[in-house]
Amino acid sequence: MKIAYKAVFSLVILVFLCHYATAVGIQYDSTNMQMVFSPGAEKTYTFNLVDAARIGAYVEGNLSQYATIIDASPDTGPRTIQVKIKLPDQLAPGWYIIWIGAREESEVQGTASGIAVIRVRIPLLSLFLGTYPALSTITVPNVNVNQLANITLSVYNFGTDAIGSSQGIIDVYDPDNNFITTLYTNILPIESDGNVNLITQMDTSKFSLAPGIYTLSARLHYDGKDFNQTLNQSFSLGSLKVTVGDETHQVYANATNKYSMNIQSDWSGAITNVYAVITMPDKQSLKTPTADLIKQSDGRLTKATANLETYWEVKNLEPGNYTVNAKLFYSGVTSEYELPVEVIIGRAPPVQMPTQFQILGYVNNKVIIMNMTVQPALLLMILLAVVVIFNIYYFLLRKDSKNKNQPDISGSGKQEDKSGNNQANRPPRL
Protein backbone atom coordinates (compact mmCIF):
# COMPACT_ATOMS: atom_id res chain seq x y z
CA MET A 1 0.00 0.00 0.00
CA LYS A 2 2.87 2.38 0.77
CA ILE A 3 4.16 1.93 -2.78
CA ALA A 4 0.70 2.71 -4.17
CA TYR A 5 0.46 5.86 -2.03
CA LYS A 6 3.89 6.98 -3.25
CA ALA A 7 2.91 6.41 -6.89
CA VAL A 8 -0.28 8.42 -6.52
CA PHE A 9 1.59 11.20 -4.68
CA SER A 10 4.25 11.34 -7.41
CA LEU A 11 1.56 11.55 -10.10
CA VAL A 12 -0.14 14.43 -8.31
CA ILE A 13 3.18 16.29 -7.98
CA LEU A 14 3.92 15.71 -11.68
CA VAL A 15 0.55 17.10 -12.76
CA PHE A 16 1.05 20.11 -10.48
CA LEU A 17 4.51 20.80 -11.89
CA CYS A 18 3.24 20.53 -15.48
CA HIS A 19 0.63 23.17 -14.71
CA TYR A 20 3.15 25.33 -12.90
CA ALA A 21 5.58 25.24 -15.81
CA THR A 22 2.96 26.65 -18.16
CA ALA A 23 1.48 29.23 -15.75
CA VAL A 24 0.29 32.81 -16.39
CA GLY A 25 -2.07 33.86 -19.16
CA ILE A 26 -3.96 36.84 -20.59
CA GLN A 27 -7.57 36.71 -21.72
CA TYR A 28 -8.88 39.51 -23.96
CA ASP A 29 -11.17 40.33 -26.86
CA SER A 30 -8.97 39.88 -29.93
CA THR A 31 -11.62 41.24 -32.33
CA ASN A 32 -11.30 44.85 -31.19
CA MET A 33 -7.60 45.43 -30.63
CA GLN A 34 -6.45 47.65 -33.51
CA MET A 35 -6.41 51.46 -33.20
CA VAL A 36 -6.30 54.06 -35.95
CA PHE A 37 -4.63 57.32 -35.02
CA SER A 38 -6.59 60.49 -34.58
CA PRO A 39 -5.28 63.48 -32.57
CA GLY A 40 -5.82 62.98 -28.83
CA ALA A 41 -7.85 59.79 -29.27
CA GLU A 42 -8.51 57.71 -26.14
CA LYS A 43 -9.40 54.04 -25.81
CA THR A 44 -9.54 51.61 -22.89
CA TYR A 45 -8.88 47.87 -23.15
CA THR A 46 -9.77 45.19 -20.60
CA PHE A 47 -7.56 42.17 -19.85
CA ASN A 48 -7.99 39.21 -17.51
CA LEU A 49 -4.76 37.97 -15.90
CA VAL A 50 -4.99 34.27 -15.00
CA ASP A 51 -3.16 31.07 -14.01
CA ALA A 52 -0.65 32.31 -11.43
CA ALA A 53 -0.62 33.21 -7.74
CA ARG A 54 1.20 36.52 -8.23
CA ILE A 55 1.08 38.33 -11.59
CA GLY A 56 2.78 41.57 -12.57
CA ALA A 57 1.50 43.64 -15.49
CA TYR A 58 3.61 45.87 -17.72
CA VAL A 59 3.54 47.89 -20.97
CA GLU A 60 6.25 48.20 -23.62
CA GLY A 61 6.67 49.23 -27.26
CA ASN A 62 7.40 52.37 -29.24
CA LEU A 63 4.22 54.08 -27.93
CA SER A 64 4.29 52.69 -24.38
CA GLN A 65 4.52 56.23 -22.96
CA TYR A 66 0.90 56.81 -24.07
CA ALA A 67 -0.45 53.71 -22.25
CA THR A 68 -1.44 53.56 -18.57
CA ILE A 69 -2.25 50.40 -16.60
CA ILE A 70 -5.22 50.65 -14.26
CA ASP A 71 -4.70 47.89 -11.68
CA ALA A 72 -6.47 47.94 -8.31
CA SER A 73 -4.35 45.09 -6.85
CA PRO A 74 -0.86 45.06 -8.39
CA ASP A 75 1.24 41.89 -8.14
CA THR A 76 -1.60 39.75 -6.77
CA GLY A 77 -3.37 36.72 -8.18
CA PRO A 78 -5.85 36.38 -11.05
CA ARG A 79 -7.70 39.65 -11.67
CA THR A 80 -9.01 42.09 -14.26
CA ILE A 81 -6.96 45.11 -15.32
CA GLN A 82 -7.51 47.92 -17.79
CA VAL A 83 -5.08 49.68 -20.10
CA LYS A 84 -5.96 53.23 -21.12
CA ILE A 85 -4.32 54.64 -24.25
CA LYS A 86 -4.32 58.39 -24.90
CA LEU A 87 -2.70 59.30 -28.21
CA PRO A 88 -0.73 62.51 -28.86
CA ASP A 89 -1.87 65.33 -31.13
CA GLN A 90 0.55 64.33 -33.89
CA LEU A 91 2.02 61.01 -35.05
CA ALA A 92 4.03 60.21 -38.17
CA PRO A 93 2.29 57.89 -40.69
CA GLY A 94 3.08 54.21 -40.18
CA TRP A 95 2.46 51.14 -38.04
CA TYR A 96 3.10 51.04 -34.29
CA ILE A 97 2.70 48.38 -31.60
CA ILE A 98 1.94 48.65 -27.89
CA TRP A 99 2.66 45.43 -25.99
CA ILE A 100 0.66 44.47 -22.88
CA GLY A 101 2.48 41.87 -20.81
CA ALA A 102 1.87 39.64 -17.80
CA ARG A 103 4.75 38.26 -15.74
CA GLU A 104 4.52 35.53 -13.13
CA GLU A 105 6.18 36.82 -9.97
CA SER A 106 7.88 34.70 -7.32
CA GLU A 107 5.74 34.03 -4.26
CA VAL A 108 8.81 34.37 -2.03
CA GLN A 109 10.20 37.88 -1.68
CA GLY A 110 13.83 38.23 -2.65
CA THR A 111 13.94 35.22 -4.97
CA ALA A 112 14.23 35.24 -8.75
CA SER A 113 11.10 36.43 -10.52
CA GLY A 114 9.85 36.19 -14.08
CA ILE A 115 9.07 32.45 -14.02
CA ALA A 116 6.73 32.85 -17.01
CA VAL A 117 5.95 35.79 -19.27
CA ILE A 118 3.27 36.34 -21.88
CA ARG A 119 2.27 39.42 -23.85
CA VAL A 120 -0.29 40.56 -26.43
CA ARG A 121 -0.09 43.42 -28.86
CA ILE A 122 -2.26 46.40 -29.69
CA PRO A 123 -1.48 47.46 -33.29
CA LEU A 124 -1.89 51.13 -34.09
CA LEU A 125 -2.02 52.70 -37.55
CA SER A 126 -1.34 56.31 -38.40
CA LEU A 127 -2.87 56.65 -41.89
CA PHE A 128 -0.65 57.44 -44.87
CA LEU A 129 -1.31 60.59 -46.87
CA GLY A 130 -3.37 60.05 -50.03
CA THR A 131 -4.43 56.53 -51.06
CA TYR A 132 -2.51 53.54 -49.75
CA PRO A 133 -3.84 50.13 -50.98
CA ALA A 134 -2.61 46.84 -49.58
CA LEU A 135 -3.44 43.27 -50.61
CA SER A 136 -4.42 41.32 -47.52
CA THR A 137 -5.40 37.75 -48.46
CA ILE A 138 -6.48 35.68 -51.41
CA THR A 139 -8.68 32.73 -50.54
CA VAL A 140 -9.70 29.80 -52.70
CA PRO A 141 -10.99 26.40 -51.54
CA ASN A 142 -9.77 23.05 -52.77
CA VAL A 143 -12.10 21.89 -55.53
CA ASN A 144 -12.47 18.88 -57.77
CA VAL A 145 -12.11 18.52 -61.52
CA ASN A 146 -14.89 20.30 -63.49
CA GLN A 147 -16.07 22.28 -60.45
CA LEU A 148 -16.26 26.04 -59.90
CA ALA A 149 -13.56 27.64 -57.75
CA ASN A 150 -14.74 30.75 -55.86
CA ILE A 151 -11.89 33.23 -55.36
CA THR A 152 -11.82 36.19 -52.95
CA LEU A 153 -9.18 38.92 -52.89
CA SER A 154 -9.23 41.08 -49.75
CA VAL A 155 -7.87 44.63 -50.18
CA TYR A 156 -7.30 47.42 -47.60
CA ASN A 157 -6.84 51.16 -47.99
CA PHE A 158 -4.55 52.57 -45.29
CA GLY A 159 -4.57 56.05 -46.78
CA THR A 160 -6.29 59.25 -45.76
CA ASP A 161 -8.11 59.45 -49.12
CA ALA A 162 -10.68 57.06 -50.59
CA ILE A 163 -9.92 54.82 -53.58
CA GLY A 164 -12.48 55.42 -56.34
CA SER A 165 -12.25 52.01 -58.00
CA SER A 166 -10.31 48.80 -57.40
CA GLN A 167 -10.20 45.54 -59.35
CA GLY A 168 -8.24 42.34 -58.79
CA ILE A 169 -6.37 40.72 -61.69
CA ILE A 170 -5.50 37.06 -61.05
CA ASP A 171 -3.23 34.88 -63.20
CA VAL A 172 -3.61 31.08 -62.96
CA TYR A 173 -0.67 28.65 -63.34
CA ASP A 174 -0.65 24.84 -63.60
CA PRO A 175 1.52 22.48 -61.47
CA ASP A 176 4.42 22.98 -63.94
CA ASN A 177 4.09 26.80 -63.66
CA ASN A 178 2.62 27.13 -67.15
CA PHE A 179 0.22 30.08 -67.60
CA ILE A 180 -3.44 29.02 -68.04
CA THR A 181 -5.64 32.12 -67.94
CA THR A 182 -6.29 35.51 -66.33
CA LEU A 183 -9.33 36.17 -64.14
CA TYR A 184 -10.85 39.58 -63.34
CA THR A 185 -12.79 40.43 -60.20
CA ASN A 186 -15.65 42.87 -59.72
CA ILE A 187 -14.86 46.59 -59.31
CA LEU A 188 -15.42 48.36 -55.96
CA PRO A 189 -14.39 51.63 -54.24
CA ILE A 190 -12.49 51.53 -50.93
CA GLU A 191 -13.00 54.14 -48.23
CA SER A 192 -10.17 55.58 -46.16
CA ASP A 193 -9.21 53.00 -43.51
CA GLY A 194 -11.59 50.55 -45.18
CA ASN A 195 -11.40 47.19 -46.88
CA VAL A 196 -13.33 45.27 -49.55
CA ASN A 197 -13.56 41.71 -50.84
CA LEU A 198 -13.11 41.47 -54.61
CA ILE A 199 -14.54 38.21 -55.98
CA THR A 200 -14.40 36.09 -59.11
CA GLN A 201 -14.84 32.47 -60.18
CA MET A 202 -12.85 29.94 -62.16
CA ASP A 203 -14.73 27.27 -64.10
CA THR A 204 -12.21 24.43 -64.17
CA SER A 205 -14.28 22.52 -66.77
CA LYS A 206 -13.33 25.09 -69.46
CA PHE A 207 -9.63 24.28 -69.40
CA SER A 208 -9.50 20.43 -69.29
CA LEU A 209 -7.35 20.60 -66.17
CA ALA A 210 -5.75 17.52 -64.69
CA PRO A 211 -5.67 16.94 -60.91
CA GLY A 212 -2.81 18.70 -59.15
CA ILE A 213 -1.68 21.82 -57.28
CA TYR A 214 -2.48 25.10 -59.07
CA THR A 215 -1.27 28.61 -58.21
CA LEU A 216 -3.04 31.98 -58.29
CA SER A 217 -1.03 35.21 -58.59
CA ALA A 218 -3.11 38.32 -57.76
CA ARG A 219 -2.39 41.99 -58.36
CA LEU A 220 -4.48 45.16 -58.09
CA HIS A 221 -5.58 47.84 -60.54
CA TYR A 222 -6.98 50.95 -58.86
CA ASP A 223 -7.85 54.52 -59.90
CA GLY A 224 -6.38 53.95 -63.39
CA LYS A 225 -3.01 52.61 -62.23
CA ASP A 226 -1.41 49.28 -61.29
CA PHE A 227 -0.31 48.49 -57.76
CA ASN A 228 3.16 46.96 -57.57
CA GLN A 229 2.27 44.28 -54.98
CA THR A 230 1.40 40.65 -55.86
CA LEU A 231 -0.12 37.96 -53.67
CA ASN A 232 0.11 34.21 -54.39
CA GLN A 233 -2.06 31.33 -53.22
CA SER A 234 -2.20 27.65 -54.20
CA PHE A 235 -5.12 25.26 -54.26
CA SER A 236 -5.65 21.59 -54.99
CA LEU A 237 -7.69 20.31 -57.93
CA GLY A 238 -8.75 16.80 -57.01
CA SER A 239 -10.38 13.76 -58.58
CA LEU A 240 -12.43 10.94 -57.10
CA LYS A 241 -9.63 8.42 -57.25
CA VAL A 242 -7.85 6.46 -54.54
CA THR A 243 -4.32 5.31 -55.28
CA VAL A 244 -1.76 3.15 -53.49
CA GLY A 245 1.15 5.21 -52.24
CA ASP A 246 3.13 2.39 -50.65
CA GLU A 247 2.66 -1.22 -49.63
CA THR A 248 4.42 -4.15 -47.96
CA HIS A 249 7.37 -5.16 -50.12
CA GLN A 250 8.60 -8.33 -48.38
CA VAL A 251 6.91 -11.20 -46.56
CA TYR A 252 8.28 -14.34 -44.90
CA ALA A 253 7.61 -17.82 -46.22
CA ASN A 254 5.73 -20.29 -43.98
CA ALA A 255 4.63 -17.56 -41.57
CA THR A 256 1.77 -15.18 -40.85
CA ASN A 257 2.60 -11.70 -42.17
CA LYS A 258 0.88 -8.34 -41.80
CA TYR A 259 0.24 -6.94 -45.25
CA SER A 260 -0.53 -3.21 -45.39
CA MET A 261 -1.18 -0.58 -48.04
CA ASN A 262 -0.98 3.19 -47.68
CA ILE A 263 -3.81 4.65 -49.74
CA GLN A 264 -4.19 8.31 -50.71
CA SER A 265 -6.41 10.72 -52.61
CA ASP A 266 -6.45 14.40 -53.61
CA TRP A 267 -10.28 14.54 -53.54
CA SER A 268 -11.36 17.74 -51.79
CA GLY A 269 -14.09 16.02 -49.76
CA ALA A 270 -14.10 12.96 -47.53
CA ILE A 271 -14.07 9.45 -49.01
CA THR A 272 -15.46 7.05 -46.41
CA ASN A 273 -15.59 3.27 -46.04
CA VAL A 274 -12.71 2.50 -48.37
CA TYR A 275 -11.67 -1.16 -48.35
CA ALA A 276 -9.57 -3.52 -50.45
CA VAL A 277 -9.95 -7.08 -51.67
CA ILE A 278 -6.46 -8.45 -52.15
CA THR A 279 -5.71 -11.59 -54.16
CA MET A 280 -2.40 -13.10 -53.13
CA PRO A 281 -0.07 -15.14 -55.36
CA ASP A 282 -1.21 -18.33 -53.59
CA LYS A 283 -4.82 -17.50 -54.63
CA GLN A 284 -5.92 -16.44 -51.15
CA SER A 285 -8.46 -13.62 -51.28
CA LEU A 286 -8.29 -11.27 -48.25
CA LYS A 287 -10.58 -8.37 -47.42
CA THR A 288 -9.34 -5.47 -45.30
CA PRO A 289 -11.33 -3.47 -42.74
CA THR A 290 -12.61 -0.10 -43.98
CA ALA A 291 -10.84 3.25 -43.61
CA ASP A 292 -11.74 6.90 -44.27
CA LEU A 293 -9.78 9.39 -46.36
CA ILE A 294 -10.21 12.88 -44.90
CA LYS A 295 -7.93 15.83 -45.61
CA GLN A 296 -6.45 17.50 -42.55
CA SER A 297 -7.34 21.15 -42.05
CA ASP A 298 -3.68 22.06 -41.49
CA GLY A 299 -2.55 20.40 -44.72
CA ARG A 300 -4.79 21.75 -47.47
CA LEU A 301 -2.40 20.94 -50.27
CA THR A 302 -1.44 17.47 -49.06
CA LYS A 303 -3.25 14.29 -50.01
CA ALA A 304 -5.53 12.50 -47.59
CA THR A 305 -3.96 9.20 -46.50
CA ALA A 306 -4.96 6.09 -44.59
CA ASN A 307 -3.74 2.53 -44.09
CA LEU A 308 -5.48 -0.71 -45.05
CA GLU A 309 -4.19 -3.87 -43.35
CA THR A 310 -4.79 -7.60 -43.47
CA TYR A 311 -2.95 -10.77 -42.42
CA TRP A 312 -1.54 -13.22 -44.92
CA GLU A 313 -0.48 -16.74 -43.97
CA VAL A 314 2.14 -17.46 -46.60
CA LYS A 315 2.19 -21.17 -47.52
CA ASN A 316 3.39 -23.20 -50.47
CA LEU A 317 5.30 -20.33 -52.01
CA GLU A 318 8.97 -20.59 -52.91
CA PRO A 319 11.23 -17.58 -52.27
CA GLY A 320 11.01 -15.11 -55.14
CA ASN A 321 9.15 -12.17 -56.63
CA TYR A 322 5.38 -12.25 -57.08
CA THR A 323 2.48 -9.94 -57.90
CA VAL A 324 -0.41 -9.03 -55.61
CA ASN A 325 -3.73 -7.93 -57.12
CA ALA A 326 -5.44 -5.23 -55.04
CA LYS A 327 -8.93 -3.90 -55.76
CA LEU A 328 -9.98 -0.74 -53.90
CA PHE A 329 -13.71 -0.10 -53.39
CA TYR A 330 -15.05 3.37 -52.51
CA SER A 331 -18.03 5.62 -53.32
CA GLY A 332 -19.28 3.23 -56.00
CA VAL A 333 -15.88 3.27 -57.74
CA THR A 334 -13.32 0.47 -58.09
CA SER A 335 -9.59 0.94 -58.68
CA GLU A 336 -7.33 -2.02 -59.40
CA TYR A 337 -3.56 -2.22 -58.88
CA GLU A 338 -0.85 -4.83 -59.46
CA LEU A 339 1.67 -4.60 -56.63
CA PRO A 340 5.02 -6.38 -56.38
CA VAL A 341 5.92 -8.47 -53.33
CA GLU A 342 8.95 -10.61 -52.49
CA VAL A 343 8.77 -13.84 -50.48
CA ILE A 344 11.92 -14.38 -48.43
CA ILE A 345 13.27 -17.03 -46.08
CA GLY A 346 13.92 -16.06 -42.49
CA ARG A 347 12.47 -15.75 -39.04
CA ALA A 348 9.33 -13.66 -39.27
CA PRO A 349 8.75 -11.01 -36.60
CA PRO A 350 5.90 -11.78 -34.19
CA VAL A 351 2.51 -10.63 -35.48
CA GLN A 352 -0.35 -9.69 -33.19
CA MET A 353 -3.50 -10.50 -35.13
CA PRO A 354 -6.65 -8.71 -34.00
CA THR A 355 -9.13 -10.72 -31.97
CA GLN A 356 -12.59 -10.78 -33.51
CA PHE A 357 -15.77 -11.48 -31.59
CA GLN A 358 -19.48 -10.75 -31.78
CA ILE A 359 -21.79 -8.82 -29.50
CA LEU A 360 -25.47 -9.79 -29.60
CA GLY A 361 -28.23 -7.44 -28.54
CA TYR A 362 -31.87 -6.67 -29.05
CA VAL A 363 -33.24 -3.42 -30.52
CA ASN A 364 -36.99 -3.16 -31.18
CA ASN A 365 -37.32 -6.92 -30.75
CA LYS A 366 -34.71 -7.51 -33.44
CA VAL A 367 -31.46 -9.32 -32.92
CA ILE A 368 -28.47 -7.04 -33.58
CA ILE A 369 -25.06 -8.63 -34.20
CA MET A 370 -22.00 -6.41 -34.04
CA ASN A 371 -18.65 -7.72 -35.24
CA MET A 372 -15.80 -6.15 -33.29
CA THR A 373 -12.06 -6.31 -33.86
CA VAL A 374 -9.78 -5.71 -30.88
CA GLN A 375 -5.99 -5.76 -30.76
CA PRO A 376 -4.65 -8.31 -28.22
CA ALA A 377 -2.87 -5.60 -26.22
CA LEU A 378 -6.10 -3.64 -25.84
CA LEU A 379 -8.02 -6.79 -24.93
CA LEU A 380 -5.43 -7.59 -22.24
CA MET A 381 -5.72 -4.07 -20.81
CA ILE A 382 -9.51 -4.42 -20.63
CA LEU A 383 -9.21 -7.76 -18.82
CA LEU A 384 -6.67 -6.34 -16.36
CA ALA A 385 -8.96 -3.39 -15.65
CA VAL A 386 -11.84 -5.77 -14.93
CA VAL A 387 -9.64 -7.84 -12.57
CA VAL A 388 -8.45 -4.74 -10.71
CA ILE A 389 -11.99 -3.39 -10.28
CA PHE A 390 -13.22 -6.78 -9.09
CA ASN A 391 -10.43 -7.11 -6.53
CA ILE A 392 -10.97 -3.61 -5.17
CA TYR A 393 -14.71 -4.19 -4.85
CA TYR A 394 -14.25 -7.68 -3.35
CA PHE A 395 -11.74 -6.67 -0.67
CA LEU A 396 -13.60 -3.52 0.31
CA LEU A 397 -16.85 -5.48 0.58
CA ARG A 398 -15.12 -8.21 2.54
CA LYS A 399 -13.53 -5.70 4.90
CA ASP A 400 -16.88 -3.97 5.42
CA SER A 401 -18.52 -7.36 6.11
CA LYS A 402 -15.84 -8.23 8.66
CA ASN A 403 -16.35 -4.94 10.48
CA LYS A 404 -20.06 -5.61 10.74
CA ASN A 405 -19.56 -9.15 12.13
CA GLN A 406 -16.72 -8.24 14.53
CA PRO A 407 -17.87 -8.83 18.17
CA ASP A 408 -17.81 -5.83 20.49
CA ILE A 409 -15.40 -6.23 23.38
CA SER A 410 -16.36 -4.25 26.48
CA GLY A 411 -13.89 -2.64 28.77
CA SER A 412 -14.22 -5.50 31.32
CA GLY A 413 -13.16 -8.01 28.72
CA LYS A 414 -16.57 -9.75 28.69
CA GLN A 415 -18.26 -10.47 25.41
CA GLU A 416 -21.78 -9.23 24.72
CA ASP A 417 -24.33 -11.34 22.93
CA LYS A 418 -26.01 -10.20 19.71
CA SER A 419 -28.82 -8.57 21.61
CA GLY A 420 -26.32 -6.34 23.41
CA ASN A 421 -26.89 -7.90 26.89
CA ASN A 422 -23.90 -9.01 28.96
CA GLN A 423 -23.83 -12.75 29.81
CA ALA A 424 -22.66 -12.07 33.37
CA ASN A 425 -25.72 -9.98 34.19
CA ARG A 426 -28.25 -12.69 33.41
CA PRO A 427 -30.07 -14.23 36.39
CA PRO A 428 -29.27 -17.88 37.20
CA ARG A 429 -31.61 -20.51 35.88
CA LEU A 430 -33.99 -22.07 38.32
Q: What is the pLDDT along the chain (430 residues), one digit of tens a residue?
A: 444 444 444 444 444 444 444 478 999 998 889 999 999 999 999 999 998 999 999 999 999 999 999 999 999 999 999 999 999 999 999 999 999 999 998 765 554 444 689 999 999 999 999 999 999 999 999 999 999 999 999 999 999 999 999 999 999 999 999 999 999 999 999 999 999 999 999 999 999 899 999 999 999 999 999 999 999 999 999 999 999 999 999 999 999 999 999 999 999 889 999 999 999 999 999 999 999 998 876 556 788 999 999 999 999 899 999 999 999 999 999 999 999 999 999 988 887 666 544 444 444 444 343 444 555 566 677 778 877 787 776 666 666 665 655 555 444 444 444 444 444 444 445 4
- Which H/E stretch holds residue 133? strand 133-139
Among 261, 311, 258, CA closest to 284: 311
Q: What is this structure's pTM?
A: 0.67
Distance of alpha carbon 224 from alpha carbon 120, whole angstroms: 40
Instruction: Report how far residue 196's alpha carbon sits from residue 166's, in angstroms, rounded to the nearest whole number.
Output: 9
Helix or strand (DSSP H, E) at 105: none
Q: How many whole angstroms separate alpha carbon 239 and alpha carbon 333?
A: 12
What residues are paired with 168 via a beta bridge?
Answer: 220
**Selection from 255, 265, 236 nearest residue 317 by Cα:** 255
Instruction: Measure the CA–CA gap between 266 and 143, rounded to whole angstroms.
Output: 10
Rounded to 5 degrees, what are φ and ψ at 27? -110, 135
| Rg, Å, the chain Cα set | 36
Q: Strand order in 148-157's β-sheet?
A: 133-139, 148-157, 194-203
* C-alpha span between 377 and 186 (Å, rounded): 60
pLDDT of residue 106: 77
> Do the Cβ atoms of 183 and 238 come closer than 8 Å?
no
The candidate with the shortest Cα–Cα distance to 209, out of 250, 136, 148, 168, is 148
